[in-house]
Amino acid sequence: MADSSEISNSLVPLGRQQAQVLLEAGYLWLDMGHFDKAKEIFSGAAALMPRSEVPQLALGAVEFSQGRHDKALQAYRAAQRLAPQSSLPRAHAGEALLFMGKVPEALKELKAAMDLDPDGDGARLAQALIQAKEAGVLPPAKT
């Protein structure tokens, strides 16, 4: 079985395709607004892939979708700990911080995401968030 234990690093071998199907199922539930089912799937994925930041990012997306930005930030921080050189967890952390009204801290995270991988998805998300903030599209900072 190719690509198994490198994905999960767990006792249960999980292939790349199986991991993708599992995560896609979670995102389908999320897209349909079935947050409990999505969270259940992503929690299972996190248990099966304890060294991957991807399920943590997905758990953050579930919380963020429900407006629970503080819990989303916790999940994004967990993803950062698992993949400190990945720009996507930082960009998502910056996004959560923006919606929490913590603009200086958010901008620091977004700029760090752009510095880590200037051509990556995290940098593109960070740039889009900064532009949206500058255009006044995102919520104003809390005072």
Q: Summarize pLDDT for 74-117 with one digit per residue, the tens.
A: 999 999 999 999 999 999 999 999 999 999 999 999 999 999 99
- 73-to-10, 82, 142 alpha-carbon distances in Å: 25, 14, 17
pLDDT at position 29 is 97
Q: How far apart are CA 67 and CA 65, in angstroms?
A: 6
Write out pLDDT tens, residues 11-58: 456 788 888 999 999 999 999 999 999 999 999 999 989 999 999 999
Count how many residues are written for the chain. Answer: 143
Contact status, residue 58 vs residue 26, Cβ threshold 8 Å = yes
What predicted TM-score, i.e. pTM, was given to this entire model?
0.87
Q: How many CB atoms lie within 10 A of CB 15?
A: 16
